[in-house]
Amino acid sequence: MPTWPCQLFIDGVWSDSHSGRTWSVTNPATGKELANVALADAMDVDRAVEAARRAFDEGEWARMDPLKRGRLLFRLAERIRENMADLAMTDTLNVGKPIRDTMGFDVPCAADLFESYAGLPDKISGKCFGNLADNVTLQIREPMGVIAAIVPWNFPLTNAAIKLAPILACGNTVVLKPSEVSPLSALMLAKLAAEVGFPPGVINVIHGTGHEAGAALVKHPGVDKITFTGRHQTGARMLEAAQVGMKGVMLELGGKTPSIVFPDAPLDNVINGVITGIFYNLGQVCVAGSRLLIHESQHDDLLERIVAKVRSLRQGDPTDPDMQLGCLATPAHCDTVRKCVQQAEQEGARCVLTGNRPVDPLDCFYPPTVFDQVTAGMTVAREEVFGPVLSVMTYRDEAEAVRMANDSEFGLMANIWTSDGTRALRVARQIRAGRIAINGGGALRANVPVFGYKLSGIGAELGFDEAVHEYCSSKAILYSLATEKSGWPE
């Protein structure tokens, strides 16, 4: 069993919360308590922001040799790999994700992100505009300042790395607030960062609720930018909070990913891709492929094969390496998914697959569920369920498939399955989403930015040029070469 820091990490020091309050972190698979973690309030937020502000304004981090900054990021990547087993088990116990997934993706991905961004610091450059005979103008890129990073519970360690790696590579300091549901791996990450030599105040991790610690953090005048991943309703409140100090905002919000399957697609690949897209992590993924658009000519055959494959999935104890499915992250979220399913049934969707739905309010093991005959006006087709619920819809031709895919307030991702490369690119150009995966090419990479259309976000997550744009400030320096004074006001 891993051991976890249970205090706040501020200015390189572990400390209790100002109020002395704690929060019980539980294992959703068993309902048992894992730890009691210090619960931050506005006073703790103030301490954390002041520490980050001091480290940025007076410390060495923003002025450090970029290669040295990169080496620290690389060392952190190595320490993550050295502690892979404990970090993986931590997120498995904390949010009910299968150990095969936390070991196979979450922790390796977090390490890869830090390693990849370790090469960025000395590549950040500006421009020179020297086309005027009497003037040279320089564009200088500089670290932005103190970044408030707020992440959700579905990929605790990976989400923390997605934020911290580019923020730190660009020379900023950060206050990270993990979800109150899943703070343990973020606190472990802070411990590893201190061990490899990150200066005090560069990384601060506070644990608290959104309405208290989160609200105080995003409104704090010492914060230069907010970066948030989560629900679009919360993202809207971030925009309101950013008015204090006119902060920058980067939002990666919800999705309602369509997966369009054309008749010429390789069905064996499609079946695995569709099942992975919606049932991996029980659908608790912002890009979960929750809307499956099937051509009417192949509807019956494809749906039958998908249902048969889903029936074979093994769901149970998340710490068992043989389990492909674990449980949902909290009883409250399980109840939300249950209500979404009930509403879909009431609105006329036909449930073609489900399992033993939890009756005990503390039971988070919700089964994979598939609905057929879903129409665009149904709630299950429009709102993000964030659970293991697949909505199957039928189209007649390419134009209708595109129209159905775009009939959503979200635009985070879309999947296209076809053997026709021209059609794949033609449809990709028409779909209003920030990330298009063709035939399963949707892997998360540090160098590939994540964009959001419509309610799915503002700005770009990841990427190298995009990270520099999001987390560096630019200034123009105008250097006059003129030897004569201005004619005005003489």
Q: What is the CATH number of the domain that holds 327?
A: 3.40.309.10
**pLDDT confidence bin for 132, thresholds 50/70/90:** confident
Pair 244, 283 in one domain: no
Q: How many whole angstroms separate alpha carbon 120 and alpha carbon 109?
A: 17
CA-based max dimension of the chain: 88
- Whether the per-residue pLDDT at 131 is higher than 80: the answer is no
- Whether the per-residue pLDDT at 133 is higher than 90: the answer is no
Dihedral sign (CA 396, 399, 404, 405): positive
Pair 91, 161 in one domain: yes
Q: Are strands 146-150 and 13-15 parallel, antiparallel or unpaired?
A: unpaired
**3-state secondary structure at position 253:** coil
**pLDDT confidence bin for 490, thresholds 50/70/90:** confident
Pair 208, 264 in one domain: no
On whether residue 203 sits in a domain, the answer given is yes
Q: Is 294 exposed, middle or buried (0-12, 13-18, 19+ CB in 10 A)?
A: buried
Q: Dump pLDDT digits (tens) for 201-219.
A: 999 999 999 999 999 999 9
- Whether the per-residue pLDDT at 427 is higher than 80: the answer is yes
Pair 242, 379 in one domain: no
- Which DSSP symbol is given to 121? G
Where residue 204 sits, what CATH number does that domain have? 3.40.605.10
Q: Dump pLDDT digits (tens) for 270-316.
A: 999 999 999 999 999 999 999 999 999 999 999 999 999 999 999 99
Count CB neighbours of 50 within 10 A: 18
What is the CA 459 to chain-centroid distance, rounded?
Answer: 13
On whether residue 202 sits in a domain, the answer given is yes
The predicted model gives 194-199 an average pLDDT of: 98
Q: Do residues 355 and 337 make contact, with C-beta atoms less than 8 angstroms apart?
A: no
On whether residue 414 sits in a domain, the answer given is yes
pLDDT of residue 134: 85
Q: Dump pLDDT digits (tens) for 432-462.
A: 999 999 999 878 899 999 999 999 999 999 9
The predicted model gives 54-79 an average pLDDT of: 98
Pair 233, 342 in one domain: no
- Whether the per-residue pLDDT at 485 is higher than 90: the answer is no
Q: How many whole angstroms separate alpha carbon 253 and alpha carbon 210?
A: 16
pLDDT of residue 310: 98
Pair 151, 262 in one domain: no
On whether residue 19 sits in a domain, the answer given is yes
**pLDDT confidence bin for 9, thresholds 50/70/90:** very high
Count of domains forming the chain: 2
What share of the chain in percent tops pLDDT 70?
100
pLDDT of residue 441: 85
Catalytic residue positions?
252, 286
Pair 192, 76 in one domain: yes
Pair 226, 296 in one domain: no
The predicted model gives 30-34 an average pLDDT of: 97
Helix (H) or strand (E) segment spanning residue 49? helix 42-57
Alpha helix locations (H) across 347-391?
379-382
Q: Dump pLDDT digits (tens) for 367-417.
A: 999 999 999 999 999 999 999 999 999 999 999 999 999 999 999 999 999
pLDDT of residue 482: 81
Assigned token pair, 201: 């105040």
Pair 198, 317 in one domain: no
On whether residue 105 sits in a domain, the answer given is yes
- What is the residue-averaged pLDDT of the chain? 96
- What domain range is 220 assigned to? 8-253+456-476
Q: Could you tell me where the beta strands, DSSP code E, fall in 126-166? A: 127-132, 135-143, 146-150
Pair 67, 172 in one domain: yes
Q: How many whole angstroms separate alpha carbon 285 and alpha carbon 388?
A: 10
43 CB-near residues (< 8 Å, 6+ apart): 18, 19
